[in-house]
DNA sequence: CGGAGACTTGACTTATATCAAAGCGTGTGG
DNA sequence: CCACACGCTTTGATATAAGTCAAGTCTCCG
């Protein structure tokens, strides 16, 4: 799909006008000219849960913005043991700059909608517009902070603390437009019990047991396996173990 | 210590001439003018093992290049549980750009020598010389890849696999000038058993047991607790579990 | 030589994994 | 519309890898 240009809206392509990636994501770094150039070669698409976006050690020839849904980033050992090493929410930028092969797998955890670009186009604009590289650098630093924070959870928290921490990070990221200091939250879990286990380095049975414990203790309510309500976020925070 | 300028060496400050950070590190991005400007405000110093360089949530007003030794990056829970979330070797750049407070602790694991700069000087030059920001971006991406790789080890490898993986990453990083594909290696462990345990999310007793097992199996030799010899790297690699 | 910190080793405990079975919800075909 | 099948989840019983507690030993230094 090629994007139409609307010369009456400061030259910003129509599809970009209300796009989250332009408001809070990588495209916010671009002036109208670059936006038009990139939009010409971009395409939006929808991906079903479980579909692989990027394979470990595979060449990738496009970058994407996550417009909605959740992407899981995973790494695997040769015998099949798997670890989720990151989650990407809207409006994160997906792709590894300066490297032909991705060091990780990326897979749609939910229905995901993406706006994708040819790798070459992004890299050309990155050279012309240092502000784009600057934004991507900042996002990468935030991802690094998150990865290290998650290492503490995976390595040093107990199973109950891990599950509570997981719920907290989902609550804070699933809809980043809501106040991160909100005292209550409702959301659909973007991951199955197996996925959550792969994220926390647990077994899915353990995840299930910890969720029923949180439910029994009145900290969360769960409807239809996926829909979670947290009435009192601070009680959940207390279960994260410092 | 302020650095003398030697106008006969293409204007490169003498101390920088043979510096690893200029050859393979962040300073390689700088032209002689910027190098001189930065060198004027830089200072080299030596740090004893165990000395804290940066505190979690503390303001930092300097950046550094690691010239020798190993720096451990840690995060802690309020009850004292600790996780090492990264190691920095020469000539890595130490510091979190674009943020006043560090999200982690940094501590000298061995004797460390640093070349430090005022934060403001680095940030000013980063604006003038996009190549510097570009290098730091690349290092950050490499650190992110390493953090994610390490998450797999912490989360999904067994204790024997963890210790073997640890030895492998030390062998490959302690002296980056040697061929990473070398078939044998000798090195001093930069970390105590307690530190290794904090890196691998194990207890130090477990680390000790796994090391004696590797020794009993003839994969490694250990002298004086710290000095390790690996005659056959591929046998060590086989113990890392894919 | 002696003392302190780092390390090893052994005996026992425990959190989480593993194995097994049954429950639930959703979509499909009869 | 029912039923049946499939994937996901819960729950229970048991096993085990790693943790904990407790001596000791080794090394390095003063």
pLDDT in tens, A66-123: 999 999 999 999 999 999 999 999 999 999 999 999 999 999 999 999 999 999 999 9
pTM given for the model? 0.95
Instruction: Using alpha carbons only, give the angle A203, A208, A209 rounded to the nearest 5 degrees.
Output: 100
Residue A8 pLDDT exceeds 60: no
Residue B15 pLDDT exceeds 60: yes
Burial class of residue A16 in the structure, from the number of CB atoms within 10 Å of its CB (0-12 exposed, 13-18 middle, 19+ buried): buried
Q: Rounded to whole angstroms, how far apart are CA atoms B157 and A81? A: 8
CB contact under 8 A, B82 and A156: yes
**For position B6, what pLDDT does the model report?**
47
Burial class of residue B160 in the structure, from the number of CB atoms within 10 Å of its CB (0-12 exposed, 13-18 middle, 19+ buried): middle
| Residues A77/B242, Cβ–Cβ less than 8 Å | yes
CB contact under 8 A, A77 and B130: no
For the CA atoms of A99, B157, B204, B84, what is the dihedral angle to 10 degrees?
Answer: 30
Q: Rounded to whole angstroms, how far apart are CA atoms B225 and B192? A: 9
Q: Rounded to whole angstroms, how far apart are CA atoms A46 and A68? A: 9
Query: For the residues B30-54, what does the mean pLDDT come to?
Result: 95
Q: How far is the CA of A147 from the C1' of C28 (A)?
A: 42
Residue A63 pLDDT exceeds 90: yes
**Residues A200, A203, A208, A213: is their CA dihedral positive or negative?**
negative
Q: Closest chain B residue to A78 measured between Cα atoms?
A: B242
Residue B9 pLDDT exceeds 80: no
Query: For the residues A209-226, what does the mean pLDDT come to?
Result: 97
Please choose, from the candidates B13, B161, B104, the residue with its C-alpha nearest in 3D space to the C-alpha of residue A147: B104
Residue B2 pLDDT exceeds 50: no
Q: Where are the beta strands (DSSP E) in chain A?
A: 43-47, 52-54, 62-68, 71-76, 82-88, 93-94, 105-108, 112-118, 185-188, 221-223, 227-230
What mean pLDDT is reported for chain B? 94
**For position B1, what pLDDT does the model report?**
47
CB contact under 8 A, A77 and B156: yes
B141 touches chain A (CB under 8 A): yes
Q: Rounded to whole angstroms, how far apart are CA atoms B52 and B59? A: 13
Residue B5 pLDDT exceeds 50: no
DSSP classification of residue B4: P
H/E segment holding residue B113: strand B112-118
Res. A149 pLDDT band, cuts 50 70 90: very high
């Amino acid at each position: 799909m090629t994007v139409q240009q609307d010369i009456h809206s400061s030259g910003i392509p129509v599809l970009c006008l209300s796009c989250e990636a332009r408001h809070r994501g990588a495209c916010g770094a671009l002036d109208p000219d670059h936006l038009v150039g990139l939009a010409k070669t971009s395409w939006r698409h929808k991906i079903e849960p479980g579909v692989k976006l990027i394979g470990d050690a595979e060449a990738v020839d496009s970058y994407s913005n996550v417009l909605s849904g959740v992407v899981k980033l995973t790494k695997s050992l040769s015998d099949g043991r798997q670890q989720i090493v990151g989650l990407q929410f809207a409006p994160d930028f997906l792709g590894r700059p300066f490297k032909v092969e991705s060091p990780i797998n990326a897979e749609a955890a939910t229905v995901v909608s993406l706006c994708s670009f040819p790798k070459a186009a992004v890299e050309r604009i990155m050279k012309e517009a240092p502000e784009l590289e600057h934004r991507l650098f900042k996002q990468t630093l935030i991802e690094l902070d998150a990865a290290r924070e998650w290492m503490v959870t995976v390595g040093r928290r107990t199973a109950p603390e891990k599950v509570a921490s997981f719920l907290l990070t989902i609550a804070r990221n699933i809809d980043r437009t809501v106040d991160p200091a909100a005292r209550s939250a409702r959301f659909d879990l973007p991951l199955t019990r197996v996925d959550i286990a792969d994220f926390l380095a647990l077994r899915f049975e353990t995840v299930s047991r910890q969720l029923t414990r949180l439910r029994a203790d009145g900290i969360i309510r769960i409807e239809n396996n996926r829909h979670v309500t947290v009435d009192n976020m601070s009680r959940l925070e207390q279960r994260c173990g410092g």
